[in-house]
Amino acid sequence: MVIDKNKVVTLHYKLQEGSAEGNLIEETSEKDPLVFLYGVGQMIPEFERQLAGKKEGDTFSFGIVSGDAYGEYDPDAIVTIPKASFVIDGELATDLLQEGKVIPMRDGEGNQLLGTVKEVKGDEVLMDFNHPMAGVDLYFTGNIEDIRDATASELEHGHVHGPGGHHH
């Protein structure tokens, strides 16, 4: 069986920054592989494209430039927000206003986005709405452990069920 749309793929990978010599970002463990439903938009499109047609037991190594991964770093996504925006039930949520803290927020149209607190000074909070991996080229190495047909329930829900997947 080969990796194709609506297949459940189980694989192990090592993700490094830029190249095989780059800093380690993350890697799976033997007990905790990546399990996903291929072709339904769960993964970076270029990641899936690189895996297309691979078979169980195949190895892989490929790079993805930042623009095809989590996007380029956008300096316009650094925004100053009044500290008053962080008042909840009449009190300033000081527990949220810690440098490096990631806070779920909404934009002017009600879309949810995540912002990282960069700096708190005076009555303002400097927030970064770039993805934490924006501007980072990725390099993956790994192996395909298993490929199977997705069940009707998995296809209906758009994700994998059971071990390594979603549990209802």
- Which sequence spans correspond to the domains of the chain? 7-69+134-157, 75-128
Mean pLDDT for the stretch of residues 105-116: 89
Q: Residue 166: pLDDT band by 50, 70, 90 thresholds?
A: low
- CATH 2.40.10.330 assigned to domain 75-128? The reply is yes
Mean pLDDT across the chain:
93
Summarised one tens digit per residue, pLDDT across range 30-54 is: 899 999 999 999 999 999 999 999 9
pTM, full prediction: 0.82
Among the listed residues 68, 62, 85, the one whose alpha carbon sits nearest the alpha carbon of residue 13: 62
User: Buried (b) or exposed (e) across 2-16, using 16+ Cβ within 10 A?
Assistant: ebeeebbbbbbbebb
In the chain, the percentage of residues whose pLDDT exceeds 70 is 96
pLDDT at 167 over 50: no
pLDDT at 3: 97
pLDDT at 110 over 60: yes
Q: Residue 150: pLDDT band by 50, 70, 90 thresholds?
A: very high
> What DSSP string describes 29-95?
BTTB-EEEETTSSSS-HHHHHHHTT-BTT-EEEEEE-GGGTT----GGGEEEEEGGGGEETTEE-TT
The DSSP 8-state label assigned to residue 117 in this structure reads E
Angle at 23 between CA 8 and CA 47, to 5 degrees: 25
* Chain CA centroid to CA 148, Å: 23
Q: What is the largest distance, in Å, between two alpha-carbon atoms of the chain? A: 60
Given this chain, do its domains 7-69+134-157 and 75-128 carry the same CATH topology? Answer: no
Bridge partner list, 73: none
pLDDT at 106: 86
- Rounded-to-10 torsion of CA 167, 36, 13, 135: -110
Among the listed residues 113, 129, 144, the one whose alpha carbon sits nearest the alpha carbon of residue 47: 144
User: Buried (b) or exposed (e) across 46-58, using 16+ Cβ within 10 A?
Assistant: bbbebbeebebee
Mean pLDDT for the stretch of residues 135-160: 95
- CATH 3.10.50.40 assigned to domain 7-69+134-157? The reply is yes
Rounded distance, CA 80 to CA 82, Å? 7
Mean pLDDT for the stretch of residues 150-160: 91
